[in-house]
Structure 1
Amino acid sequence: MQNLLEEFYKTDLIVNKFQFRKLFLEEDISYQINGISQVGKTKLVKNYLLTLKKNTYLYIDCSDVRIELDEFNKYISSFCIENKIDILVYDNYIEEFKIPNVSQLIITSEVPIDNEYLTSVTLYPLDYEEFLAYEHKYDSTALNHFFQLGAYPAMHKINSDERNIYIQKTLSYTLDAQEFEILKICARMNSLKLSPFSIYERLKQIQKVSKDKLYRSFDSLVAKNYIHLLYKYNHKKATKKVYLCDISLKSALVSQKHFGRLFENMLFLELLKHKHEMFYDDGIDFYLPNDSEIILSMPFADERSLFKKVESLEAFIVTNGITQVTAITMNNEAIISHPFSRIEMIPFDIWALGD
């Protein structure tokens, strides 16, 4: 095992064509970086390590099958002391790995762990602004390209006819069989209200399934950020709306197409990555109470349809003191006069790149 540790220590790290993300790692801060598989956690960490002196860090991929855990845990502390290791990285971390005393510890994992000494950060798939950094040029085709590729960083390197299979293989490798089946149902029902019980009712028609195990698998998908849940405003027990971690999962897992729901899912992810507190309500896609704002997903709206929509929401607008109603569209832009709130139509690309 000491020989394997020496190999890890001496191996040169390589990062090809790294594109900077909005998440930056700082020296002297220990991190746990959480995120779904293939979201860019490893590249982010390696790029950070390459800014440091090589003899100061040790990078270990915990999924390496050559690691014999008992032997590893026996030697890791003394190895770090003898080689004056300041920064230790456990990529694909599992809790059985011993944590030695080092100046900076960085772990990556799909599931957050309970450790008060680590600064917890989440790396999501690319937002629209990060996606544009991968484009060779930014023009009117960029948004359509975003819809085609989704937000996995690797999609720019994969041939168009192989993308769906790539995502399927990535998910089947990362998730267990039941999680995968649940995710397929969520892909079919994205942006709609969906409960674990309704998933159970669907699955039990075609296979033998334990309700308790299914609920645990559903909670696991939420904990790992493969799916996201949106609560109804002031109704915590109401059925939640479900959104996918990336819109590319829809086309990769089901043949059903629904542009409007994909567009809404894309809006949700942008709001999520900007850490907005949000809820849904009847007729309202996203209510942002801290901003007194309603966000509506209306990709092909015109002024007439938007005004009619706002009329149906006036009771909510007045009751909750809404000062801004924003309809996100594909390309229409307008400001509508209204006695209670500022009503605005904004194209997605302008909205996503705004402050």
Structure 2
Amino acid sequence: MKSLEVCYELDFSKINFLERKVKIQNPKTYVFGAPKCGKTYLIYDYLASFNTKDYIYIDFKDFRNDLEEIKTHLAEFILQNSIKVLVLENFDFSFKLPKCENIIISGHNNIELKEFDKLQVKALDFEEYLLHENRFHTATQAFNNFLKYGNMPGVVNLEEHNKERRLQEILRLYAKDSTYEQILKVLFLNIDEKKSLFQLFNTLKNHIKISKDKFYATVKTFENSGLVYFLPKYNQEKAVKKIYSYNHAFLNAISHSKKFKNEFTNMVFLQLEVNFENIFYLDNIDFFIPSQNYLILSIPFFNPLLKKGVQKKLNKVLKEHTISKIDIVTVGYNENFFINDIEVEVVPFFQWAVS
């Protein structure tokens, strides 16, 4: 039982863990989410509160592990060693779970497991990013780096020349083959765009051979694991949805084309997505949160000359919806003004994201 013995000897008590906003709290938890968002380190943090002899950690993507041995002898090994915590990373559900007091399972897809809590781990929001990065002394400097290279925990403190390459590697780690890679690319090239899946499929089939069914099924898998989001239009279920990536910086990593507004707006969306469940878009309005009567516009380079046009857009929305809060998120510009007694706060992202 060599594999089980080696897995049992692993010690995570000395791993340096930086706090996240989510934690494993239930003894039976399924941890899921997009690649390289910090699922493993969250598990390490959980294990650190146990004696090393109380747990066994098995990664099903570790080539060294003999999966047949694990499948055959795991239940017996747990019993023999009085193991209290079983961790199955990247578990493929190829065998029945053995009995154990605590079982933590990780994977990419959002699935239902009987008697298990679900915990989705997402990439860093800006507040978490500030805790992780250790190079920059001001919020402005940190924001510039966050905007350029994104929100992946493992990328934050890499040398700058390695960051884009690492982002590309992360995408390839998840893509099963070149077809998956091309589907990811066509999605991420269209962040903050209103595009139907049929439009994207037609774009892709001009470059590679792919069936409509495979394209739709693959996109559904990506959405299920949190790689990509589809933002609906408020009260219009059949309207085309807007596309967002789980890391705004992937666009820059896969293309030489510059779409600054799209990347910036994707970044704003991700910050909202952490805090609000039901987010929509409206005509000419980036984000609308009905539960808060809250409008958010992403205008990176807002200036006073744009105010009249923005007021015109907002006046139309204010006639149709009850609104109590309006934010315009910018790169660095600050201002407050009023429309129909409603305060419009123009605020830089690095202030807005932590407020």
Pairwise same-fold verdict (TM > 0.5): yes
Partner of 2:35: 37
> How many residues align structurally?
352
Aligned-partner Cα distance in 2 for 1:97–1:129: 40
Aligned-partner Cα distance in 1 for 2:181–2:280: 27
Aligned-partner Cα distance in 2 for 1:306–1:109: 46
Does residue 129 (structure 1) correspond to residue 124 (structure 2)? The answer is no
Partner of 1:168: 168
Deviations 1:296-339 (A, max 9, x none): 00111124523431322323223211111111112222221222
Aligned-partner Cα distance in 2 for 1:16–1:247: 28
Does residue 25 (structure 1) correspond to residue 28 (structure 2)? The answer is no
Match of 1:93 among 87, 91, 94: 91
SS at match of 2:216: helix
Does residue 73 (structure 1) correspond to residue 75 (structure 2)? The answer is no
Q: Indicate how the Cα distance of structure 1 residues 91 and 104 shifts in structure 2: closer, same or farther if over 3 A, else same.
A: same
Q: Give runs of aligned pairs for residues 217-228 of structure 1, distance below 5 A.
A: 217-228=218-229
Q: Give runs of aligned pairs for residues 151-230 of structure 1, distance below 5 A.
A: 151-176=151-176, 177-230=178-231
Query: Percent of aligned pairs with the same residue?
Result: 28
The unaligned stretches of length 5 or more in structure 1 are none
Structure 2 residue identity aligned to 1:13: F
Q: CA deviation at 1:146?
A: 1.0
Structure 2 residue identity aligned to 1:158: L
Aligned-partner Cα distance in 1 for 2:320–2:199: 33
Q: CA deviation at 1:245?
A: 0.9
Partner of 1:110: 108
SS at match of 1:280: strand
SS at match of 2:58: strand
Structure 2 residue identity aligned to 1:189: N
Partner of 1:332: 333
Q: CA deviation at 1:72?
A: 2.2
Bigger drift between 294-303 and 63-72 goes to 63-72
Answer whether contact 1:35 1:225 (CA < 8 A) is retained.
Answer: yes
Q: CA deviation at 1:51?
A: 2.0
Does residue 145 (structure 1) correspond to residue 145 (structure 2)? The answer is yes
The unaligned stretches of length 5 or more in structure 2 are none
Aligned-partner Cα distance in 1 for 2:147–2:207: 32
Structure 1 residue identity aligned to 2:170: T
Answer whether contact 2:328 2:346 (CA < 8 A) is retained.
Answer: yes
Aligned-partner Cα distance in 2 for 1:134–1:114: 31
Please, what is the CA RMSD of the aligned residues?
1.7
Answer whether contact 1:178 1:217 (CA < 8 A) is retained.
Answer: no
- What is the TM-score when the length of structure 1 is the normalising length? 0.94
Bigger drift between 240-249 and 335-344 goes to 335-344
